[in-house]
Amino acid sequence: MSEYRAQISWRRQPEEPFVDSRYSRAHCWSFDGGVTVPASSAVSSVPLPYSKPDHVDPEEALVAAISSCHMLTFLHFAAGAGLVVDSYNDSAVGTMATDSRGRKSVVTTVLAPMIEFSGSKRPTDDVVQRLHHQAHEECYIANSVRTQISVAGNWSFRG
């Protein structure tokens, strides 16, 4: 069994009454490796000036976690298949809507990786699709969330 920890820190500012809901949602996420990330609510959830658009919001972090896990799992399987991946760049998009239970939820996440391969072994479309399928099936984060995840990426080969 593995455990993963994050320290979330927020403090009300002295000039903020709080009970009127006019307080900053800015806070920090700190991780065991020493990285601290400025975080906030999404501006679409809590308007300015109470949200900080230049901070990471939980919805963005969820989409990034899904994309990152898929990428790391894809790279693992690609290496195991003897393929050389030179770059992997994803422009992932999560969509918030009302789910089947009537709750606001990130209902879909579309991954759109652009993958560049090189080396002596050239992948086929079927191989790349199989690697994406394997990555999706084995990704810890995908296995932990209800959002529908799809892959609409592309790839190229430098040979």
Q: Which domain holds residue 15?
A: 1-56
- Cα distance between residue 5 and residue 30, in whole Å: 9
Band the pLDDT of 30: cuts 50, 70, 90: very high
Residues 63-115 pLDDT 10s: 999 999 999 999 999 999 999 999 999 999 999 999 999 999 999 999 999 99
Among candidate residues 36, 56, 76, the one where a domain is terminated: 56
Q: How many domains does the chain divide into?
A: 2
- Cα distance between residue 39 and residue 25, in whole Å: 8
pTM above 0.75?
yes
Quick one: 21 and 3 in the same domain? yes
Residues 45-56 pLDDT 10s: 999 999 999 999
Quick one: 82 and 139 in the same domain? yes
Quick one: 40 and 80 in the same domain? no
